[in-house]
Amino acid sequence: MAQVSRIEPFSFGIDAASGVITPHQNLIQRRLSHMKGMFMDESAREAMFRVEDTLLYEVYEVMVPDEVGHLMICTSITYSGRVGREYFMTKGHFHKNIQTAEVYYCLRGQGFMLMESDRGDCKAEPMAAGRAVYVPAYYAHRSINTGKEPLISFCVYPGGAGHDYATIETKGFRKLVLEKNGRPQIEDNPKWKNNI
Amino acid sequence: MAQVSRIEPFSFGIDAASGVITPHQNLIQRRLSHMKGMFMDESAREAMFRVEDTLLYEVYEVMVPDEVGHLMICTSITYSGRVGREYFMTKGHFHKNIQTAEVYYCLRGQGFMLMESDRGDCKAEPMAAGRAVYVPAYYAHRSINTGKEPLISFCVYPGGAGHDYATIETKGFRKLVLEKNGRPQIEDNPKWKNNI
């Protein structure tokens, strides 16, 4: 095994109300324009986008060497809202090295961690402040905000895990979390594409 | 590389006031009797122990397979108090696979994460609710409670890291965190043993 890089110990602050990490080295922002075709109701997304390119989620990242042995750190902030019946959510991804887990510790808000394995096993774990979700190896994962406040989590995953967004962008998840009579409901994804 | 075990996604609660994980699969409790010779003032520890075998710290563990790719999860609760001038603290350890990091996210209390690398580099990072400490690969680490409340952290480290307690039990850390005029102060450890 290659030697793991030596870095200095450091500390950082996490504001549970906003999800901001201080100091952070990278900020990812995903808006309606980045999620074309990823919501069930594309015409609803398109109509919303014409009014405003709404911010759906943000990821604050602490940069350490992306190597096995290190731990990658970020916060994930998914804002409150819906595209049609579908709650605001992250794109979701597998890890490029699929044999790596991730831990989400929820600091604020309400929602679900939607997970789906490479074999098609599906699970949605509820998220709420003070709860943590273990996303095992082999599982794609997506944060979904079903509440009124931002859904904020502190996330840790192994160095070298990497990200595979393409699989979900192409196929989608088998399940969706949709609003029905004012409540979240898990339904089959009518657009889910097998064998692509 | 061996295949990483498949496990089901799961979630758990972390009570920030007590540090209790629900559900947890293991609880480690360390008392004065477990820390013989580890404080600077052994006669003070001995005198305290004769009155009561005081609980110094607890670790709640979530059990997942201890394999590379998984993430090990626990909370660490170090109680408030002193043995002579020295604040209550954990034993401290290196990881058996020294090329692995750990992240501590502090939920409650005040203190320090004392770290020392295999090369003798020392650093003490302040801990407080809402702050996180990155313990890099190659660093032994010890939580030290300098406040009045329990010092509680949520901890994540890579599967397969393991624990090496023997090195610190034998040599100690080069630095100590001691009370002076009502405040914590970092001092050289007069009992630190080189070349053992």
Per residue of chain B (196 residues), give pLDDT as tens: 579 999 999 999 999 999 999 999 999 999 999 999 999 999 999 999 999 999 999 999 999 999 999 999 999 999 999 999 999 999 999 999 999 999 999 999 999 999 999 999 999 999 999 999 999 999 999 999 999 999 999 999 999 999 999 999 999 999 999 999 999 999 999 999 875 5
Q: For the sheet containing A71-78, what is the strand order?
A: A26-31, A55-62, A71-78, A151-158, A102-108, A131-135, B10-14, B21-22
pTM, entire model: 0.96
Residue A71 touches chain B, beta carbons under 8 Å: yes
Q: Which of A15, A62, A71, A75 to mutate to test the interface with B (most CBs of B within 10 A)?
A: A71
Nearest CA in chain B to A70: B101
Q: For the sheet containing B82-83, what is the strand order?
A: B82-83, B86-87, B175-180, B183-188
Are the Cβ atoms of B71 and A15 closer than 8 angstroms? no
Query: What does the alpha-carbon distance between residue A74 and residue A60 come to, in Å, rounded to a whole number?
Result: 5
pLDDT tens string A77-89: 999 999 999 999 9
Nearest alpha-carbon partner for B154 in B196, B105, B194, B195? B105
The minimum CA-CA distance between B119 and chain A, rounded to whole Å, is: 11
Residue B189 touches chain A, beta carbons under 8 Å: no
